[in-house]
Amino acid sequence: MKFLYSIVCSFLFLATVSAQKGTVRGNIFDKDTGEPVIYANVYLDGTTTGTNSDVNGFFTLTDVAVGEYILVASFIGFDTVRSEVVIKNNRIENKNLFMSENSVRLQSVNISARRERSRSEVQVSTVSISPREIKALPSAGGEPDIAQYLQILPGVVSTGDQGGQIYIRGGSPVQNKILLDGLTIYNPFHSIGFFSIFETDIIKNVDVLSGGFSAEHGGRVSAVVDIQTRDGNKKELGGSVSLSPFLAKVVLEGPLATFDEDSGNSASFILTSKKSLINNTSPTLYEYALDDPEQGFPFDFRDTYGKVSINTSTGSNFNFFGFNFTDDYNNPALANISWTNNGGGLNFRLIPAKSNLVMGGTLGVSNYGISLIEDNDPRTSDIREILGAFDFTFYGSSSEFNYGIEIRSVRTEFEFTNPFNIKIDNTQNTTELATYFKFKQNFSNKVIFQPSVRFHYYASQSNLSIEPRLGLKYNITEDLRFKAAAGVYTQNILSTSNERDVVNLFSGFLTGPESQVFGFDGKKLEDKLQKSSHLIAGFEYNFTDNFEINIEGYFKDFPQLIVLNRNKTSNTDPNYAVETGDAYGIDFTAKYTLPRAYFYATYSHGYVNRFDGEQEYPTVFDRRHNSNLLATIDVDEAGTWQVSARWNLGSGFPFTQTQGFYNFINLLGGVDTDVVTANPDDVGIIYSEERNGGRLPFYHRLDLSVKKKLEISNLFGLEITAAVTNAYNRDNIFFFDRVEYERQDQLPIIPSISVKGIF
Model pLDDT for residues 440-463, shown as the tens digit of each residue: 999 988 999 999 999 999 998 899
Q: Is residue 726 part of a domain?
A: yes
User: Strands, DSSP E only, in 107-246?
Assistant: 126-129, 156-158, 166-168, 176-180, 183-184, 203-209, 223-229, 238-243
C-beta separation of 203 from 134 below 8 A: yes
Rounded alpha-carbon distances, angstroms, from residue 627 to 80, 546, 647: 38, 22, 8
Q: What is the DSSP letter of 518?
A: B
- The tens digit of pLDDT for each residue in 143-161 reads 889 999 999 999 999 877 7
- Output the pTM of the full model: 0.90
CATH number at residue 40: 2.60.40.1120
Q: Do 98 and 132 fall within a single domain?
A: no
Would you state the pLDDT for residue 670? 54
Rounded to whole angstroms, how far apart are CA atoms 206 and 106? 18
> Quick one: 585 and 443 in the same domain?
yes
In this structure, are 68 and 135 located in the same domain?
no
pLDDT band at 260 (very low <50, low <70, confident <90, very high): confident
Q: CB-based burial of residue 633 (10 Å sphere; 0-12 exposed, 13-18 middle, 19+ buried)? A: middle
Q: Is the pLDDT of residue 13 over 60?
A: no
Least confident of 322-331, 488-497, 568-577, 729-738: 568-577
Mean pLDDT of the chain: 87
Counting every residue, how long is the chain? Answer: 759
Q: Are residues 80 and 186 in the same domain?
A: no
Average pLDDT over residues 705-709: 95
Q: Give the pLDDT band of residue 54 (cuts 50, 70, 90).
A: confident
What's the pLDDT at 3? 46
313 pLDDT exceeds 70? Answer: yes
The confidence band for 103, taking pLDDT boundaries of 50, 70 and 90, is: low
Q: What is the phi/psi pair of residue 441, to 5°?
A: -125, 130
Predicted local confidence at residue 164, as pLDDT:
64
**Could you report the per-residue pLDDT of 644-656, keeping only the tens digit for each?**
999 999 999 998 8
**More confident call, 255 vs 571:** 255
**pLDDT at residue 339 tops 90:** yes
The confidence score (pLDDT) of residue 466 equals 98
Same domain as 97, residue 61:
yes
Averaged pLDDT, 122-145: 89
Task: Look at residue 672 and tell me whether its pLDDT is greater than 90.
Answer: no
Q: Which residues touch 407 (CB under 8 Å, ≥6 apart)? A: 387, 388, 389, 431, 432, 433
- Same domain membership, residue 277 and residue 198: yes
**Better-predicted residue by pLDDT, 433 or 5:** 433
Please check the confidence at residue 186 and state whether its pLDDT lies above 60: yes
pLDDT digits (tens, 9 = 90+) for 221-255: 999 999 999 999 999 999 999 999 999 999 999 99
Beta strands in 258-376 (DSSP E): 266-276, 299-311, 317-331, 335-350, 357-374
Q: Name the helix (H) or strand (E) containing 135.
A: helix 131-135
pLDDT for the residue 11? 39
How much is the pLDDT for 680?
59
The domain boundary residue, chosen from 45, 72, 104: 104
Q: What percent of the chain has pLDDT over 90?
A: 54
What average pLDDT does this structure show over 125-140?
89
Last residue of a domain, one of 104, 139, 167: 104
Between 99-108, 361-370, 690-699, the lowest mean confidence (pLDDT) is in: 99-108
Q: Are residues 78 and 173 in the same domain?
A: no
Rounded mean pLDDT, 102-127: 68
Higher pLDDT, 663 or 387: 387
Rounded distance between C-alpha atoms, residue 107 and residue 130, angstroms: 11
Please give the Cα distance from 484 to 475 (Å, whole number): 12
Once rounded to an integer, what is the mean pLDDT over residues 747-758?
Answer: 93
Q: Judging by DSSP bridges, how do beta strands 717-725 and 699-711 pair with one another?
A: antiparallel
Q: What is the per-residue pLDDT across 399-428, written as a single tens digit (0 to 9) for each?
A: 899 999 999 999 999 887 766 666 777 888
Same domain, 61 and 199: no
Residue 479 has pLDDT above 70, yes or no: yes
Spatial distance between the Cα atoms of 156 and 621, rounded to a whole number of angstroms: 10
Q: What angle do CA 360, 362, 365 make, to 5 degrees?
A: 180
pLDDT at 679 over 70: no
pLDDT value for 455: 98
What pLDDT sits at residue 499? 59
Residue 120 resides in a domain: no
259 within a domain of the structure (yes/no)? yes
Pair (503, 647) in one structural domain: yes
The yes-or-no verdict on residue 49 having pLDDT over 70 is yes
Percent of the chain with pLDDT over 70: 90
- Which one has a higher pLDDT value, 3 or 330? 330
Specify the pairing of strand 357-374 against strand 335-350. Answer: antiparallel
The mean-pLDDT minimum among 113-117, 230-234, 536-540 falls in 113-117
pLDDT grade for 376, boundaries at 50, 70 and 90: low
- Are both 136 and 93 inside the same structural domain? no
Of the candidates 396, 309, 412, 319, which has an alpha carbon nearest to the alpha carbon of residue 360?
319
Q: Would you place residue 294 in the very low, low, confident or very high pLDDT band (cuts 50, 70, 90)? A: confident
Q: Which of 124-128, 486-490, 519-523 has the lowest mean pLDDT?
A: 519-523
In a domain, 25, yes or no: yes
Q: Is 683 part of a structural domain of the chain? A: no
Residue 263 lies in a domain: yes
Residue 246, amino acid: F
- The yes-or-no verdict on residue 305 having pLDDT over 70 is yes
Q: What is the pLDDT of residue 292?
A: 75
| Angle, alpha carbons 9-10-12 (nearest 5°) | 65
Task: Of 18, 67, 69, give the one whose Cα is nearest residue 42.
Answer: 69
So what's the pLDDT on residue 10?
A: 43
Task: Specify the number of domains making up the chain.
Answer: 2
Question: Is residue 99 scored above 60 in pLDDT?
Answer: yes
Question: Is pLDDT of 579 > 70?
Answer: yes
pLDDT at site 665: 64
337 and 444: one domain? yes
Under a CB-based contact definition with an 8 Å cutoff, are residues 469 and 215 in contact? yes
Is residue 666 included in any domain, yes or no? Answer: no
Q: Are residues 286 and 420 in the same domain?
A: yes
The mean pLDDT value for 456-482 works out to 95
| Domain interval for residue 370 | 126-656+691-758
pLDDT in tens, 77-96: 788 899 999 989 888 888 88
Q: Which residue has the higher pLDDT, 283 or 488?
A: 488
Task: Determine the 3-state secondary structure of 138 from DSSP.
Answer: coil
Answer yes or no: is 681 within a domain: no
**Dihedrals phi, psi of 165, to nearest 5 degrees:** -120, 165
Range 469-473 average pLDDT: 97
The domain that holds 700 is classified in CATH as 2.40.170.20
For residue 588, the one-letter residue type is: F
128-132, 217-221, 645-649: segment of lowest average pLDDT: 128-132
Q: Of the segments 105-114, 182-191, 377-386, which one has the largest average pLDDT value?
A: 182-191
